Amino acid sequence: MLVKLFIYLAAVLPAVLAAPRYKCYNPEPTTGVPTQTVTQTTIQTTIQTTAEITTQTATPYPSPEPQTPVYLNWTTVSGYFLQDETTTDPNGFDYISTNFGLIDRAYDSDAEFDPNGEKSQWQRFAHHIGELNKNSDASTEYKVLLMARHGEGWHNAAESYYGTPAWNCYWGQLSGNGTAVWEDPHLTPAGELEAIKANDFWRKQIDEHKQPAPESFYTSPLSRCTVTANLTFANLGFDNFYPIVKEFLREGVSIRTCDHRPSKTYITNMFPFYKFEEGFAELDPLYDGVKYETSEAQDLRNFNGLTDVFTKDKNTWISFTAHSGEITSLLRVLGHRAFRLATGQAIPVLVKVVSNLPKSTTTTIAPWTTPTVCPAPPVTSIANQGCVCTATATPTTTI
């Protein structure tokens, strides 16, 4: 294992060292999260739904004036990005080589804005979105979500090395293997390169394609995301790059230590200029190493999280730095087609948000679950059934 690791580092480290470095407050690679004593937070067991998930309504948030509930309805608007199209295969799709997936097409606002055909596709799209917002009533907004998955982390490398069954049923519950640490893991050298590539992409998009820069930045509290957000957007001249750390953007909570977030103090020490949402807890309120968050519970978390952002943030161009499973859930809650992202990849989504609609009914969702794992590397794992331990290993809920 050590030989393979050294060969891997020898291959990628020269490129990392030669790449431009950015403002980033990184701790020592072997630094883990502080020892925490946590209890499982009780999760709500109802979610607002209607016939289609694209028209869900939200938990009420009081308006400043008057003090009456505001309910949201949102839908994704297709036809603008390749990722919207059913003919686009997510496997191997690269947002960098496809202009973020923006479709080369005309808009009904082009005639006035660009009569001579001199503007870029992104300039015309941005103007089109501005016109949609300007011509909508006070209860309707259009927002462009720019959702990026973090670069490769040490947990990703470990799962690739050991295989998914062994990772899910044994290794993932450990903090590391003595060589790599994957409790709240940082980026591998390859993951850093992915984030630096994203930085280069944004510089080119803004300078050459005239793509609007994000107006708001949000990130998951897990280190692989806080580091990715910084490497992606640092040194681009943004005077508004003060990311807000949001609990709801974290990965689906499992029993694996990679889902154990660091303390608020730890994040602050890494990135003193990052901000936190109101009420962000010092210690992880969700992870306990025993219970899994169900997909339904994660969707509810994201439904409430999106409601919070759409209610409080009036900007149009919004950046999320999050995780594969988390973005999968966000797309599901937004009503977008499934589009799985590889590490370092990103997806834009145009969302229409309408407020002051009737509140819908509630539906009971599945509670968190307690799976079993193996006290030693397993024989295999079976989808929807769980781990298959060796004959001498008794399944357990903790290691």
Instruction: Provide mean pLDDT across the span 340-355.
Output: 98
Structural domain spans, the chain: 2-29+44-388
pLDDT of residue 370: 82
pTM for the predicted model, two decimal places: 0.80
Give burial (CB, 10 Å; 0-12/13-18/19+) of 123.
middle
Weakest-pLDDT range from 39-43, 146-150, 325-329, 378-382: 39-43
- Please provide the DSSP assignment of 148-185 as one string: EEPPPBHHHHHHHHH-HHHHHHTGGGSSB-SS-B-SS-
Strand 140-149 with 346-355, pairing: antiparallel
Distance CA 278, CA 139 (A): 25
pLDDT tens digits, one per residue of 166-194: 999 999 999 999 999 999 999 999 999 99
Per annotation, catalytic residue among 128, 141, 150, 155: 150
Q: Does the annotation count 251 as an active-site position?
A: yes
Annotation marks residue 150 as catalytic: yes
Cβ 368 vs Cβ 40: under 8 Å: yes
Q: Architecture of domain 2-29+44-388 in CATH?
A: 3-Layer(aba) Sandwich (3.40)
Query: How many CA within 13 A on the CB side of residue 64?
Result: 2
**What's the CA gap between 11 and 128, in Å, rounded?**
45
The model's confidence at residue 398, banded by pLDDT at 50, 70 and 90, is confident
Report whether the peptide linkage leading into residue 66 is cis, meaning its omega lies within 30 degrees of zero.
Answer: yes
Q: Give the active site residue among 159, 183, 192, 251.
A: 251
| Residue 215 pLDDT greater than 60, yes or no | yes
